[in-house]
Amino acid sequence: MSGSLSVVGLGPGNPQQLTPEALDAVAQAEDFFGYFPYIDRLNLRPDQRRHASDNREELDRAKAALAMAAGGGKVCVVSGGDPGVFAMAAAICEAIDDGPKEWREIELSVVPGVTAMLAVAAKAGAPLGHDFCAISLSNNLKPWSIIEKRLIAAAEAGFVMAFYNPISKARPHQLGEAFDILRRHLPGTVPVIFGRAAGRPDEAIRIVNLSEAEGGMADMATCVIVGTEETRLIERPSERPLVYSPRTWRGANASAVGKEAK
């Protein structure tokens, strides 16, 4: 007997940014798996059960949820932000890929949510208005050497970058190292946005130049957005500046590219 499993994005933490589809999936589920703080966001009924775990137990959590769903349960796995962005949807798919055949028969749905970089970008203006990428700075699941290569490639290609998992107690140095790498490939005037807890009561948005950016300006609740040479600031007298990346590429590096081509 096979049940159902929904993987639900709870958004960045503002209840108003939780989608109706996500609310409906939560209402229909009986058992909930997720990281402690995400489970705590839910107002569960007495007949709904919690199975909270640590944030480094994604694959074990996925397997436990799938096993329960395979036994006929109506299961919901919750993620902050969007479940497909450095979150539980990939863990569920990986578990299914490597797991027993009956897990492939489970009715599976992935319910999108507002991811952190979108919430932070909306608070700052429109820094993701042109081509962008998202990079997790955590080396728990990939080597730091790969992260370094991706940072350099993104900077040289002119992508706005959104950093997830920028810093933790176990790796307090890596965001600072990322900024050092980028300063070798981008002008110091490129804007950097530190968006902590966007949309929540303890929200903090800070904008600095890349030349001034430091690792200590972020924590694990922060999403960092690094602009490009094209990204601009609009100063305002009584509000923080608006940061935006023009939709039309105006060729900040056009002359340099032309010289190299010759």
Containing structural domain, residue 73: 4-114
Asked if residues 181 and 199 have their Cβ atoms less than 8 Å apart, the reply is no
Q: What is the predicted pLDDT for the residue at 258?
A: 33
Same domain? For 124 and 151 the reply is yes
Same domain? For 123 and 216 the reply is yes
Same domain? For 225 and 238 the reply is yes
Q: What is the distance of C-alpha 257 from the center of its chain? A: 32
CA proximity to 196, closest of 13, 46, 8: 13
Cα–Cα distance measured from residue 44 to residue 27, given in angstroms and rounded to the nearest whole number: 8
Same domain? For 124 and 249 the reply is yes
Question: Any idea what the CATH number is for the domain that residue 29 is in?
Answer: 3.40.1010.10
CA proximity to 203, closest of 178, 240, 159: 240
Query: Could you say which of 114, 132, 167 is where a domain stops?
Result: 114
How many folded domains does the chain comprise?
2
Q: What is the predicted pLDDT for the residue at 252?
A: 57
CA-to-CA dists, residue 248 to 111, 129, 228, angstroms: 32, 9, 13
Question: Any idea what the CATH number is for the domain that residue 135 is in?
Answer: 3.30.950.10
Same domain? For 106 and 169 the reply is no
* 224 bridge partner residues: 163, 194
Cα–Cα distance measured from residue 126 to residue 130, given in angstroms and rounded to the nearest whole number: 9
AA letter at 94: E
Same domain? For 107 and 209 the reply is no
Q: What is the predicted pLDDT for the residue at 169?
A: 85
Q: What is the predicted pLDDT for the residue at 137?
A: 97
Please provide residue 135's backbone torsions phi and psi, each rounded to the nearest 5 degrees.
-130, 130
One digit per residue, the tens of pLDDT, for the chain of length 262 reads 679 999 999 999 999 999 999 999 999 999 999 999 999 999 999 999 999 998 888 999 999 999 999 999 999 999 999 999 999 999 999 999 999 999 999 999 999 999 999 999 999 999 999 999 999 999 999 999 999 999 999 999 999 999 999 998 888 899 999 999 999 999 999 999 999 999 999 999 999 999 999 999 999 999 999 999 999 999 999 999 999 999 998 875 543 333 333 3
Same domain? For 149 and 220 the reply is yes
Q: How many residues does the chain have?
A: 262
- What is the C-alpha R_g of the chain? 20
Q: What is the predicted pLDDT for the residue at 261?
A: 33
Query: Could you say which of 65, 98, 114 is where a domain stops?
Result: 114
Q: What is the predicted pLDDT for the residue at 32?
A: 98
Cα–Cα distance measured from residue 74 to residue 88, given in angstroms and rounded to the nearest whole number: 17
Same domain? For 102 and 150 the reply is no
Same domain? For 218 and 173 the reply is yes
CA-to-CA dists, residue 216 to 134, 172, 193, 208, angstroms: 20, 8, 13, 13
Q: Which residues contact 18 (CB under 8 A, 6 or more apart)?
A: 10, 11, 113
Cα–Cα distance measured from residue 10 to residue 26, given in angstroms and rounded to the nearest whole number: 10
Same domain? For 121 and 77 the reply is no
CA proximity to 109, closest of 85, 81, 84, 134: 84
Same domain? For 105 and 121 the reply is no
Same domain? For 99 and 134 the reply is no
pTM of this structure: 0.92
Query: Could you say which of 114, 149, 171 is where a domain stops?
Result: 114
Cα–Cα distance measured from residue 130 to residue 229, given in angstroms and rounded to the nearest whole number: 12
AA letter at 80: G
CA quadruple 236, 239, 241, 245: dihedral, nearest 10: -100
